[in-house]
Amino acid sequence: MKPTLLILAAGMGSRYGGLKQLDQMGPSGETIMDYSVFDALRAGFGKVVFVIRKDFEDAFKERFIEKMRGHIEVDYVFQEMTDLPDGYCVPEGRTKPWGTNHAVWAARKAIREPFAVINADDFYGAHAYKVIADYLQTIANDSTRYAMVGYPVANTLSEHGTVNRGVCNVDDNNKLVSVTECEGIAKTDGVIGYKNENQFLQIADNARVSMNMWGFSPYYFDQTKTDFLAFLEEHGNEMKSEFYIPATVTNLIQSEGATVKVLDTSAKWFGVTYQEDKEQTTRRILQMVKDREYPVNLWS
């Protein structure tokens, strides 16, 4: 069975400003999501599911559904704050979404096969889709042998500001031990690092980071619900706490015996964390089109 690609597209992009998921980056008006789906299709994925906000539905359908029809099966689900396990409700005054793993959980009724998770605004590169598609086709629907694609942190920085990354602790067998969320990472005087309580902590250039490209079986939805219940018990009344994928993955590794293979890739990641990143991203895509890595019009 072909795996499914799950694209997390419900975020506004606060640092970038606006709905960057709809920004045109390719020569024929393609968005980064268009390239993600195109790469996934070439890699062997059979379906794509988008997680969107309900107020994004009309714009999404106009931009994506029709042009992808006939190329790959397309579905979408909504990430809604009120989508909580029985017995829980949104605390009064909370407006912040519940986080990336809540977005994954929102797709629990739309996916019945091994699947990869990606961000809507990250360009992961064709090879990354190939390595994770190949891996997903080796696992069963109840497997806990998960995977993620790891990128050297030096290849994931922005020239226009700091970035947040999940820095990976990997063992000698290329298995993930844990992920530490680090905020405000930048390269300063040739050294990569971030500040923590006024202390600068260095990160090795080749340290692998998670760019939220994960591979799971459908059983992950059941495990996510269990972890989400624990999260809500501890943080459900808070206004800003978020339920992140790396936190659940770390919990599953440490307490449930799950494994996560870190897949290396020759692909180069880039994205649009800031509005100023758009020009560089557009330039890189145009060069790949000139090099015939992609057609001028993806869906013609």
For the chain, domains (ranges, CATH) are 4-143+210-243+268-290 (3.90.550.10)
Say whether pLDDT at 192 is over 50. Answer: yes
Give the helix/strand (H/E) hosting 42.
helix 32-43
Question: Span 116-123, mean pLDDT?
Answer: 94
* Dist. CA 211–CA 10, nearest whole Å: 17
Residue 164: pLDDT band with limits 50, 70, 90: confident
Task: Tell which wins on pLDDT, 150 or 65.
Answer: 150
Which residue type does 201 have?
Answer: L
Residue 108: pLDDT band with limits 50, 70, 90: very high
pTM of the model: 0.91
Say whether pLDDT at 186 is over 80. Answer: yes
Question: Span 212-222, mean pLDDT?
Answer: 97
CA dihedral 291, 265, 132, 242 (to 10 degrees): -110
Neighbour count for residue 240 (Cβ, 10 Å)? 8
Which of 99-108, 114-123, 176-185, 234-243 is least confident?
Answer: 176-185
Query: Over pLDDT 90: what percentage of the chain?
Result: 70
pLDDT tens across 254-299, in order? Answer: 988 899 999 998 888 888 877 788 888 999 999 999 999 999 999 9
* Dist. CA 272–CA 285, nearest whole Å: 13
Residue 100: pLDDT band with limits 50, 70, 90: very high
Question: Span 50-61, mean pLDDT?
Answer: 88
